[in-house]
Amino acid sequence: MAALKYAGMDDTDSDDELPPGWEERSTKDGWVYYANHDEMKTQWEHPKTGKKKRCAGDLPYGWEQETDEKGQILYVDHINKRTTYFDPRQAFTVEDVVVKPKRYDGNTAALEILQGRDLSDKVVLITGGNSGIGFETAKSFALHGAHVILACRNLSLASKTVTAIQQEWHKARVEAMMCNLASLRSVREFAESFKAKKLPLHILICNAAVCTQPWSLTEDNLESTFQICHLGHFLLVQCLQDVLRRSAPARVVVVSSESHRFTDLLDSCGKVDLALLSPSRKDYWSMLAYNRAKLCNILFSNELNRRLSPHGVTCNALHPGNMMYTSIHRSWWLMTFLFTLARPFTKSMQQGAATTVYCAVAPELEGLGGMYFNNCFRCLPSIQAL
């Protein structure tokens, strides 16, 4: 106390009250720091208690964080039409304690995982982001400030998706670009167009897929399910890996499926049979083709992580969840009928997007890859995928 008295810090009514000449401020992500105007310095610790604090929760309803022309953070109260440099969350600060990562499960929604996160410094690229799980994933990132790019083959539908997201938040940064995974030429053209934007790439989500499709060949003379679900993404990552490395730390997230467990890629001699990946019409079964592509996804994810993790780029694969009503089965009327009957008992699309979002942003996964997740939990894939 003698030291506090000597420093002029003992004439306040409580331990939390700041001494004269001090001001409490907060960073963009909610951490509290203290400015000493007399000595022109700042520090993280409270000048009396020595404790660190952070702002609890999100901004109150109607408030928005912006930056003025000098780069300083300010807060706009749209309801009361006023602006202040004081973070309204500072009225509800909590002491900085070691908090264990929150555990999520199959009931968690993507927006719940991103609650309180500011992703305004992130660029996210997602394939198949105009419907289903991909749409909810893209929307969740955009509503938290990320610059989201939708790589889609149907630009008309993708443009409607962009509009729908921006109607939820007028400042959402989301755009659509043409990328048809059924055309390797299109994938290469997309990669060149993306590079021409001179943007970083912090999160690449390989989400697009088709299932229960009738047999057909792409313009590259490959079976369409295999190329769209796996090979197109493989080429996309290869074309953009230099951007990912320059943007490190970066993450690649590959949406696979538990159906990878019901197939393998080996022939009767135990060797990889490449003919199984792009079968002829007489050897084709739509579900088996999908299962094989999903197994390839995990093998690719593991190898990509092995090669790029030393350069700050990690990769994980995931299963988004069982029994979800999406448009992926639109090519098979029986599957559509069964999913329609089961719809009241299925996951929502927001819940389906949760594991993707978790793998993309979870702090506890920083620098970690080569893993497989289901319902936001790490689990072992099939022995063929190890």
Return the active site residues.
290
In angstroms, rounded to a whole number, what is the distance separating the alpha carbons of residues 21 and 38?
6
In terms of Cβ atoms closer than 10 Å to its own Cβ (0-12, 13-18, 19+), residue 335 is: middle
Q: Hey, what are 74's tokens?
A: 């300010």
377: β partners: 374
In angstroms, rounded to a whole number, what is the distance separating the alpha carbons of residues 194 and 240?
9
Asked, as a colleague might, if the bond just before 249 is cis with ω within 30 of 0, I would say yes
C-beta of residue 116 within 8 angstroms of C-beta of residue 102? no
C-beta of residue 41 within 8 angstroms of C-beta of residue 29? no
Triad 350, 354, 360: Cα angle to 5°: 135
In angstroms, rounded to a whole number, what is the distance separating the alpha carbons of residues 355 and 345?
19
Nearest of 162, 216, 222 to residue 187 by alpha carbon = 222
Neighbouring C-beta atoms of residue 160, cutoff 10 Å? 13
In angstroms, rounded to a whole number, what is the distance separating the alpha carbons of residues 119 and 115?
11
Residue 223 to residues 172, 214, 258, 265, Cα–Cα distance (Å): 37, 10, 21, 15
Phi-psi region at 35: left, alpha or beta (left = phi > 0; alpha = psi -120 to 50): beta
**Quick one: how far is CA 123 from the chain centroid?**
10
